[in-house]
Every structure is written in structure tokens, then in C-alpha cells.
Structure 1
Amino acid sequence: MMKAFLLALLFSTICFSQNTLTGQENTPSPKATLADASFIQGHWKGEAFGGTTEEIWTTAMGNSMLFSFRLVVDGKVNFYEIGHILEKEDSLILQLKHFGADLKGWEEKDETQDFKLIKKEKNKLYFDGLTYEKISATEMNAHVVTVHKDGSKSEITFNFKKQ
């Protein structure tokens, strides 16, 4: 029984934790500023979910970096995200909200999906379940842990090219 558990744990770690980290609730975030996230700034495009993905990140201003995301499949918007990376308590937090093509929100009115910073490296920020990685001056990856309807998890990599 224990052997099966360890194999399942190893398999799940290999399958969806290759580029992302999950933090413990009371673990403090590392010290960080928006300067650590400056490599994300810009207009980025890629392909995923059978369509074109686009993220636009602003420069740091007002203690935050604003972003928008959209997925276009077969010439139609599938969904949007809007959010920011915010300096908070000497570290960073990424917050976002999802919207359908009709701009109806997926989260409740006063709720956001929050990803606290877990670890930082040069050109790589590990938020809880979401990692941004600078590959070059014109290429970036976003690695995201997704939870499926059956409760299983997997990691998806979005590869973006700077426009």
C-alpha cells in the first residue's frame, strides 16, 4: 500500500510539478519587488487550447503591473483574464479574474484568484501554481497548474513570443 502511494506521489509530481511549485499556507513569501517581474512586461502571443493566446503586461506603476489575457479560437474570443502583480508585504502577489466572451465574470463579484510568490530566481517567478519564466528577450513561458473536473491536476505551458 505504501509503495503504491509513493509511486502515485512520484507520478503526480513528475506529471504536473515540473515547472510549478505549491506553497504551504503559512510559508512566508520571499522578498521581492516589481523590478523582479519586469521581464514580463510587453505584448506576448502564443498558441494553446486550439487557438491564439495573448497577454499584455504594462510597466510597473502605482505599486502594480496590470495584465490582460485572451484566448481566441476559430476567430472568436473564448475567454479573457484581467489582473495584476501587486507589491504586498515586501513581496509579490498575482491576482486575476476570468471573464467569458460576453464579459460575464466567472468568479464572484468580490473574489479573485490569488497566487502568492513562493520563490524567485533570475528571470523566473514561482507563484503558487503559476510560474513565469523568461527564455530570452523575445520568448517567455507561463506554466500553470490546472485542476480538472475529476480533481486531477496537470501542468500546462503557454509559450509566448514578444510582439
Structure 2
Amino acid sequence: MKLLLLFFLSTTYFLQAQNTISFEEGMMSPAATINDIEWLAGHWKGEAFGGIAEEIWSPPADGSMMFSFRLLDKGEVSFYEFGHLIEKDATLILQLKHFDGNLSGWEEKDENIDFKLVKIEGNRFYFDDFTIERVSDKEINMYVEVSEEEGTSNEITFNYHRQ
């Protein structure tokens, strides 16, 4: 019985975290251009963290796509993100910064969070612990590995629909 429970728990964890991949030391990012992911441009909306999540992605221009994100919860902005997806060294990197509802930055002035491209597989772009999946022309999923205080992590799914 213990063995069956252990198998179930380990399988459940694997299935929950199978949508993200970590960039490990020694890995090389695959070749990619911003035009490979131009389908992401547009206005996307969905539910997350008990509120409404919204992302707006610009069309590609000069090797970049900029985006803004906001989470609305209980009638106010919980937080924002601003960032871009850029071509760098013949591949892609996603960079972002967080801001609270009054635009106070979470990261230091000269710091941002970088997500290196790990691989492209079919309709999925796997960045370091962050995956963008094209479900259809009108639906996307984003999977993010979020660290918890106890040293554990949890994969969060954002399901968006084109507005």
C-alpha cells in the first residue's frame, strides 16, 4: 500500500510539473527568431490567483516584442509586469520586471528576471521554468514554476483567450 501511495504521489508531482523545464548549466538555447512566436501578439485575458489576468503583446519589431501584464483582484490591481521577448545571440530571451499596484518596483533598478529559451517543441516555447503554449489562434496557456517559501515550487497555469 505504501509503495502504491508513493507511486501515486510521485506520478502526480511529475504530471503537475511536466509543462516547465529548467535551464541547466551547460545547456545551449536553440536557434530562434522573434518571428517564430509572432502569433503571441495581441490582447489576452484569463483567470488567475482568484482574479483576472491580462496580457498585451506587441507585434514583432526590430527583434523584440514588448508586453504588459496586470492582475486585477477584488476591484484593484494586485501587480503589474512589464517586459519583452528579444532576439539575442541567435536565440530568444524573455525579460521582465514586477511592479505593485502603485508602480513600486519589486526588483532592483538595474535588475530584471531573465528566462532563457530551453527548447521549442511543436506549439510550445520552453523558457527556463516558463512555457508558452499555443492552443489555437484564440487560446494560449502559460505555465510558470513559482518558488514557495519552504524551498519547494509549484507550477501555475494561466489560460488566456484572445480579446
**TM-score of the aligned structures, taking structure 2 as reference length:** 0.91
After superposition, the C-alpha distances for 1:6-40 in whole angstroms (9 at most, x for unaligned) are 97x94585164210101212211000000111121
Q: Is the 8 A contact 1:131 1:143 kept in 2?
A: yes
Matches within 5 A, 1:57-136: 57-136=57-136
**SS of the residue aligned with 2:79?**
strand
Indicate if the aligned counterparts of 2:84 and 2:95 stay in contact, CA closer than 8 A: yes
Q: 1:25 to 1:12 in 2, by over 3 A?
A: farther
Aligned length: 159
Q: Which runs of 4+ in 1 moved over 3 A?
A: 9-13
Letter aligned with residue 97 of structure 1: K
Structure 2 contact 138–161 (Cα < 8 Å) conserved: yes
2:30 touches 2:120 (CA, 8 Å); kept in 1? yes
TM-score, normalization: structure 1?
0.91
Gaps of 5+ in 1: none
The answer as to whether partners of 2:33 and 2:63 remain within 8 angstroms in 1 is: no
Give me the identity figure in percent. 51
Quote the offset at 1:115 in angstroms: 0.3
CA distance in structure 2 between the partners assigned to 1:162 and 1:107 by the alignment: 29
Residue 75 of structure 1 and its aligned partner are, at CA, apart by 1.1
C-alpha distance after superposition, 1:32-90 (max 9, x if no partner): 00011112111000001110000000011122100000000011000000000010000
Residue 150 to residue 104, structure 1, CA distance change in 2 (3 Å): same
Tell me how far apart the structure 1 counterparts of residues 43 and 76 of structure 2 sit (CA, whole Å).
Answer: 20
1:38 counterpart SS class = helix
SS in 2 for 1:39: helix
CA RMSD of aligned residues (A): 2.0
Cα pair 2:43 2:56 within 8 Å, conserved? yes
Name the aligned partner's letter for residue 157 of structure 2: T
What residue in structure 2 maps to residue 46 of structure 1? 46
AA matched with 1:30: P
Say if 1:16 and 1:153, in contact at 8 Å, map to a contact too: no
Contact 2:20 2:130 in 1 (8 A): yes
**Which residue of structure 1 aligns with residue 151 of structure 2?**
151
